[in-house]
Chain A
């Protein structure tokens, strides 16, 4: 699904989080929103997911206005930095949550849900942890479970907020490759937020550099490194 962001702006009371920004994301792209904290990248991600409502502007999914869609209708797989796993449910139930929450008429039968959860556990390469609780998992395992839970609803896009932010350097590298593999396998339009330029450059097809609620530059990693458009990008990317 391709996504168009059309002059989206966001104010929180008197402070401005996002100046009008526009951005077009082609279907199937892996995009990084890169910037320091307070640059508006998380706000933009949350607007796409339907967790915040823009002060002005439109969001288009496949060319159709999606600004007024509810969170539930958007079917955006969202992964939080804290993972926000349901700690009173097993890993299996966490992943099955989105399917079980569907209205009865659209809910797959139990066996089908079990089949899909098993498949997702294989995909994240943790086939044997279905019966555990989140408190019994390592940080990297939790992150992958959160990803599997988001994929279970057959999302139309994948939105990740600092997906590797809470992990140590070694695990971070492994999981980066994991996300790349899952993206390539599913072909989902994927947008992730990060403040780590190395991560953005290594992982993304397209990098959007943001600062102070503004988009500084949009481009492929190579272009951004070679031809930084502004002083800010030059400093931040650190050439």
Chain B
């Protein structure tokens, strides 16, 4: 077979080439790619981060802190904390329920349900807010009835909570579903056959298994809940001291050219975001440990 005759050796290259693994790029390519990506992130992420703190401190510490002390700023901070404290537990409970339902039972339309849970991610927050206004606004049937009975939802706190819940809906469930699929049902079935009640099984078997994923999802949910702007700005009505959350207050201050005040509050939220990221990085390590531990058995 002429195709497979042993080829004659070509003259060898004289240069003693510096060895490079077959799975590596040339050093020049590597340095270029690292500089490109780090540079891009510096312009996009690190620079804005620095600007927030720099602008907040533009007139010194004292001015910055004082700007957070007035009544309006305080009520915004309190409102944001209240909303978060209401929306996050709701979504945590829902997330557990949905993930449990999806992973432990087989039923038709499962894929549809998963898509539905993800829906809030692909709907613009503004459109989400719009939907709530249309549903609960004073001139809709339901909204009109509620307002007449003294339960206004739009332009009031319940509307903001609903908007926040809508927008942060998928976070917990999305984190839990993969972990629960990984774990399967065997442990729970074992516990049930041993005579444990459903609730007891959940508390002693399921919950410990999912706690890191649950914390992680809750954390993401919290970060988003505190910062939500688009949906909230549509339903809140932006009433100073009543329905203005921290992000809304930042917008109002910024539009009134109160730069230091706006950036001081922004710096507060940024600090919270940085804490969130730190916690998240720590949890990711725990979560990956846990995932690899479950894979081992």
Physical contact A–B (CB less than 8 Å)? yes
What is the CA–CA distance of A53 and B21 in the complex, to the nearest angstrom? 8
Asked whether any CB of chain A lies closer than 8 Å to the CB of B17, the reply is yes
Determine if B19 and A1 form an interchain contact, defined as CB atoms under 8 angstroms apart: no
B1-52 contacts to A, CB under 8 A, are: 1, 3-7, 9, 12-13, 15-17, 19-22
Asked whether any CB of chain B lies closer than 8 Å to the CB of A126, the reply is no
Determine if A69 and B4 form an interchain contact, defined as CB atoms under 8 angstroms apart: no
- Interface secondary structure of A, over-half rule: loop
What is the CA–CA distance of A148 and B12 in the complex, to the nearest angstrom? 27
What is the CA–CA distance of A50 and B17 in the complex, to the nearest angstrom? 12
What is the CA–CA distance of A1 and B6 in the complex, to the nearest angstrom? 7
- Our pick among A53, A68, A154, A185 for the contact of B13 (Cβ within 8 Å) is A68
Minimum distance in angstroms from A108 CB to a CB of chain B:
11
What is the CA–CA distance of A1 and B4 in the complex, to the nearest angstrom? 13
What is the CA–CA distance of A12 and B20 in the complex, to the nearest angstrom? 15
Residues of A within 8 Å of B5, CB to CB, are: 187
- Our pick among B3, B4, B13, B21 for the contact of A51 (Cβ within 8 Å) is B21
Known: A68-B15, A73-B13. A119 touches B7 (CB 8 A): no
Known: A51-B21, A53-B19. A151 touches B4 (CB 8 A): yes
Known: A116-B3, A151-B4. A62 touches B9 (CB 8 A): yes
Asked whether any CB of chain B lies closer than 8 Å to the CB of A75, the reply is yes
Known: A51-B21, A53-B19, A69-B17. A119 touches B12 (CB 8 A): no
Interface residues of B (CB under 8 A from A): 1, 3-7, 9, 12-13, 15-17, 19-22
Q: A67-B16, A116-B3, A187-B5 are in contact. List 15 more A-B contacts (CB 8 A).
A: A28-B6, A53-B19, A61-B9, A62-B9, A65-B12, A68-B13, A68-B15, A68-B17, A68-B19, A69-B12, A70-B17, A71-B22, A156-B7, A187-B4, A189-B6
Interface residues of A (CB under 8 A from B): 1, 27-28, 50-51, 53, 61-62, 64-71, 73, 75, 116, 119, 151, 154, 156, 185-189
What are 25 inter-chain pairs, A to B, with CB distance below 8 A? A1-B9, A28-B6, A51-B21, A51-B22, A53-B19, A67-B16, A68-B13, A68-B19, A69-B12, A69-B17, A70-B17, A70-B20, A73-B13, A116-B3, A151-B4, A154-B3, A154-B4, A154-B7, A156-B6, A185-B1, A186-B1, A186-B4, A187-B6, A188-B6, A189-B6
